[in-house]
Chains A and B, each alone.
Chain A
Amino acid sequence: MSEQQNWVNRATGVGTSVARSLLLPTLALITALVIGAVIIAFSDVDNLQLLGTDTGQALSNMWSEVVDSYAALFRGSIGSVNSISETLFAATPLLLAGLGVALGFQAGLFNIGAQGQMLMGSILAAYVGIYLTAPAFLHIPLTLAAGIIGGLIWGGLTGLLKARTGAHEVITTIMFNFIALFFVQWILTTEGLQDPGRNNPVSAAIQETAQLPKLFGEEYRVTIGFLIALLAVAGVHWLLYRSSPGFEFRAVGSNPHAGSYAGMKVALVITAVMAIAGGLAGAAGANQLMGLDPYKATPSLAGAVGFDAITVALLGRSNPVGVMWAALLFGALTAGGREMQGAAQVPIDLVVVLQALIVIFVAAPGMIRAIWRVKADDDSAATQVTTSWGA
């Protein structure tokens, strides 16, 4: 094996061959698109009614609808500079939050709490963004740091609960999502944070100095948040594979008992991992506040990013570089989905279906192998990343 091949393997964390490791995700994507086409074709009420009377015409209508939809999906994701900007724009929070979930997986922790961590991060960032007066080169990092701290505390709490009492992080992070949502709904109606003159939960806009500058010029939405997310990829990669805490994270993830036996402080590792994961999600929350017009915090600011982050981390096999590609793919699907909704009147929710299907196929490689008759590798271990409630 060549030196360069080695480097690629180390950087991507994939098996013996890059081509082989890309095979299954590619087939998963194709299979998902085929199923998506069937869903598009058979959900049009007019065509379904036509199917009984004029089958040929109905099938041809269905075919052209699928072609139009996927053409729009493609156009909206990479068809123009604006499309690419939209893809990167959608990928940014997915990447930040996805890295948080992936970090948890590496340490054997299933962090479903990115949604709540994003919300708590955005609230703290909103305070700093609204009340601090500083030049942009200070205001932006401080607002971002506030977002990270908000998520860090919220994630760290669930880690602490797990470390001290054994409360399973899947349950506590789900519960913390709801607690954060209700808390945010309340705090956004309090004086000092609420937008004056509004009676629904919306914060005032953050100051201009805290808004993230645009990356490709004012007419395109992507901000330097994307560069920050790329820095986070490098940072998490370094943390996991080049630092001694990262080694402990992975050791505890693969076998907590062995880690404990080797003198690692498992409780500390769990708390630290959940806190850092929360911090990354908090950064995603801050990004949604600082990079998205009208620059106001709302309870729906996180959208479904916190949950999509889980699928991104799974698709990226919890490897930072893999997570980056997965976030770009899902960002492209999201941006393309908007175009598809606008141009072909196919609801953007189809993209959610595609994402779920892709992850099912990637998590159950046996299914894809059976469909496409691909022979199994020796590294085809089932994905068991979490432990039972009690353990």
Chain B
Amino acid sequence: MTDIVKNQELVEIPEVVQTSGDVRRSRIIGFVLLAIAAVVLGVFSFGVPSDATSTFNLSLPTDTIQGVSVSFNSRLFSGVAAVLIFALGVDRLRAKNLRWTNAALGVGLLLFVLAFLAWASADSSFSMVGMLRSTVISSIVITLGALTGLVGERSGVINIGIEGQLLSAAFVAVVLSSAFGTWAGVGGALVIGALLGALLAWLAIRFRVDQIIAGVVINILALGLTSFLASRVLSEAQDLNAPARITSWRIPVLADIPVIGPMFFDHTFFVYATFLLVFALHFGLFRTRWGLRVRSVGEHPKAADTLGIDVIKTRYRAVISAGLIAGFGGAFLALAQISRFEENMTGGIGFIGLAAMIFGRWMPFGALAAGLVFGFSGALAQKVAILGTGIPSEFMLMLPYVATVIVVAGLVGGARPPAADGQPYIKQ
């Protein structure tokens, strides 16, 4: 009997030692959830009249099935949300089931956002589907940017130049699409994305320029060159800044489903391709020989070299093919989202993509999830500005950046980059 107890202790002790940080994190997040519950109860629940009704519209004017919506008592809804968040917080303070800490925080934040929307739309209605649809659309460039960074970094090359790749691709896409049609625009964007990827790889691998410097310089070069050509060429030849509109590929039947249809099945081909790419990259990175090689070169290039993998060639290929992804993202931004070129039209979205890559922990599905979260905060900021809640929309727009700082500071679980990320490789 004593032996068994002793054995159990022996088993448990290292586990406690390993997870002392997780215990602390669980408790911190427990307190955070309690604070959120207090805000939800005090502001969102008691901040509205007891008989106020919120309505979430679940169909768009263009939908086949019309008039789908949910209405509920605003105060009661937020009250229930507060109780649930409170329960989650108490559960975290107990510091059991440590694996669920992030999930608890995620559910708590989701309830917080729903209660916030109920409060903001008290005694009025709110187009929930509209917001979810624009979430998906604005997540595309962010996700593609994140995937660009991810493929490069998995092979050990840091790419800060995503912003410049997106911007150059957007420019080329607009000019070629205006002159020769949509597919020429997309093709040109892919090529320029890959070329800038090649430049980054060349500087980083051949000349061993500090990778962050190389990326920063690519951003500056792209911004200068596209702005120069936009004011010198596009202002003279305005017909080169008028790409053809891209029509949506509405998927029959599926697009008629309320909520899900407008969110996922009524988009341009870019959107479907992006979702397919996420699956393909996950499979490629973790189930194919190519993926194993890329990851081994990014984690331990010397070991990979010893096994006969050409480190240099693998890195070149990874960064250049990642450039194709950025090119595709730039084409989507310029052709489908905005439909013309403007100076500095990316406005930092490449950096949000970089943040999404870290937020998604260097995983393709993580990048997509992070892209959707960041896209949601952008869509929310727009809607909140329309609803007129008195909360400055600037604070909503800040959220992705604040969230990224919190993630890299390790408050939501450590994110570990590939081990050889940013290290030039010198063959012995």
Contacts and interface: CB of A to CB of B under 8 A. Distances in A.
Interface stretch (B301-309, B351-359, B365-373): B351-359
Contacts of B408: 165, 167-168, 171-172, 389
Interface stretch (A9-17, A232-240, A264-272, A351-359): A351-359
A135 B167 CA distance: 48
B169 interface: no
Contacts of A314: 213
B354 A174 contact: yes
B227 interface: yes
Interface stretch (A51-59, A286-294, A377-385): A377-385
A307 B348 CA distance: 13
B223, B409, B419: residue with the most chain A Cβ atoms closer than 10 Å: B409
B221 A353 contact: yes
A387 interface: yes
Given A363-B210, A389-B417, A353 B224 contact: yes
A351 to B, nearest CB: 8
B203 A178 contact: no
A213 to B, nearest CB: 33
Interface residues of B, number: 53
A39 B232 CA distance: 11
Given A43-B232, A387-B422, A389-B158, A367 B405 contact: no
A350 interface: yes
B236 interface: yes
B228 A350 contact: yes
B404 interface: yes
A43 B231 CA distance: 10
A333 to B, nearest CB: 11
B401 A178 contact: yes
Contact of B404 (A171, A351, A356, A382): A171
Contacts of A366: 206-207
A252 B262 CA distance: 55
A347 interface: yes
Interface in A156-178: 161, 165-168, 170-172, 174-176, 178
A310 interface: yes
B43 to A, nearest CB: 19
Interface stretch (B85-93, B312-320, B392-400): B392-400
A390 interface: yes
B224 A356 contact: yes
Given A178-B401, A384-B208, A390-B421, A44 B223 contact: no
Contacts of A112: 216
Contacts of B394: 182-183, 185-186
Contacts of B242: none
A197 B344 CA distance: 30
B355 A175 contact: yes
B398 to A, nearest CB: 5
Contact of A167 (B221, B225, B410): B410
B416 interface: yes
B395 A182 contact: yes
A167 B409 contact: yes
A370 to B, nearest CB: 10
Contacts of A175: 351, 355, 401-402, 404-405
Nearest to B344: A304
B195 to A, nearest CB: 15
A363 B203 contact: yes
Contacts of B203: 360, 363-364
A326 interface: no
B385 interface: no
A171 B421 contact: no
Interface string A220-234: 000000000000000
A382 B424 contact: yes
Contact of A349 (B224, B236, B355): B224
Interface of A: 39, 43-45, 110, 112, 161, 165-168, 170-172, 174-176, 178-179, 182-183, 185-186, 189, 307, 310-311, 314, 346-347, 349-357, 359-360, 363-364, 366-367, 382-390
18 contacts: A112-B216, A165-B408, A178-B348, A307-B216, A307-B220, A311-B216, A347-B231, A350-B228, A351-B224, A352-B224, A353-B224, A359-B213, A364-B203, A364-B209, A382-B208, A382-B209, A384-B424, A390-B417
Interface of B: 158, 160, 203, 206-210, 212-214, 216-217, 219-221, 223-225, 227-229, 231-233, 236-237, 348, 351, 354-355, 358, 392, 394-395, 397-398, 401-402, 404-405, 408-411, 416-417, 419-424
- Report the 8 A-B pairs with minimum CB-CB distance, sorted nearest first: A352-B224, A382-B208, A364-B207, A388-B422, A356-B221, A349-B228, A349-B227, A353-B224
